[in-house]
Amino acid sequence: MRCRPSLHSYMRRLAYLAAGGMLWSFSALAFANAPLGSVIENFLMPSLAGGSQSLLSDSNVSVFIFIKPGQEHSNQAMAQIAACEKEMTGKPVHWCAIVSDRIPKAEVEADVKAAGLAMPVLIDQGDTLYGKLGVILHPVIGITDKDRRLVAYQPFAKVNFHAFVQAQIRHALKEITDEELAELLKPTAATLGGDASVAHRYFRLAEKQFQSTNYSQALLNINKSLEKNFTAEAAALRSRIIAAQGGKIEVVVPAEAVGQGAEAGVKSVAPVGVIEKPSNSK
């Protein structure tokens, strides 16, 4: 018997769709001749160190980076990829860099050494692989899964390149979810301050002043906190301060909440922000 999906399951599907949508918006770019999801042909290519190496792994996630030693962005990318490679040591990732055979070997070796790249550097003779995939720019990274399916394409970025590459590799390794990848590719804005933040500081100050029995200052500061942002925690502290001063314990409800869902019987004794000075206040 087929069960009717619950509301929770609908919500979950919607969340997956939304996350999928977010990922799609980041995955529009790809190699001209190899869209995301396509299977990349594997090749044995001559290596800078001698002999030949395969471009991709048939059993692990592969990361291949087209670089152009001497080019500013490539040199910056190589340094960041080298750091990435080091941080991910021990993970089942097949790494390689690809350079055109147009660039003199000594120049490639010097730049690779300076960047600290440990991965094999493969020589693309006659820019064959470059043309086959339709690369069109340097530096650029392709990531394939264990089935050699292209799962990520990441051109160089001046900002957050290292974070983007690492996130894409971790996603290919299934270490992070689609939602986590989306967050790393489009990080949450780091805004400054805000009323809630200021209110919290007044709350903490009032709490400390309450502990040191400086009730009058504590009351002033908790009122400032409540003015900025009403929280039950702050309201409770305000009641404790007033009680400590020997005043009447109040239930404080924000003025705008009265008549808008506030429970019956709970009355706004004093609008938030108005300082009630108990008769025996210190």
Select 5 or 92, whichever has its Cβ closest to another protein. 92
Contact between 103 and another protein by CB under 8 A: the answer reads: no
**Contact window for another protein (CB under 8 A) among 8-16, 126-134, 235-243, 252-260:** 126-134
Select 31 or 253, whichever has its Cβ closest to another protein. 31
Select 153 or 253, whichever has its Cβ closest to another protein. 153
Contact between 245 and another protein by CB under 8 A: the answer reads: no
Contact between 155 and another protein by CB under 8 A: the answer reads: yes
Least distance CB 99 / another protein (angstroms)? 12
What are the residues facing 123 on neighbouring strands? 99
Least distance CB 3 / another protein (angstroms)? 34
> The sheet that has 121-124: what strands, in order across it?
121-124, 93-100, 61-66, 140-144, 150-155
CB < 8 Å & 24+ apart, contacts of 25-33: 26/182, 26/185, 26/186, 27/152, 27/153, 29/153, 29/155, 30/150, 30/153, 31/133, 31/134, 31/135, 31/140, 31/142, 31/150, 31/153, 32/133, 32/134, 32/135, 32/136, 33/132, 33/133, 33/134
CB-neighbour burial class of residue 268 (10 A; exposed 0-12, middle 13-18, buried 19+): middle
Number of Cβ atoms within 10 Å of the Cβ of 274: 10
**Contact window for another protein (CB under 8 A) among 2-10, 26-34, 250-258, 272-280:** 26-34
The footprint of another protein on residues 27-56 (CB under 8 A) is: 28-29, 32, 41-45, 52, 54
Interface with another protein: number of residues (CB under 8 A) = 59
Binding site for another protein (CB under 8 A): 28-29, 32, 41-45, 52, 54, 58, 68, 71-73, 102, 124-132, 134, 136-138, 147-148, 155-160, 162-163, 186-192, 197, 200-202, 204-205, 208-209, 212, 214, 217, 220-221
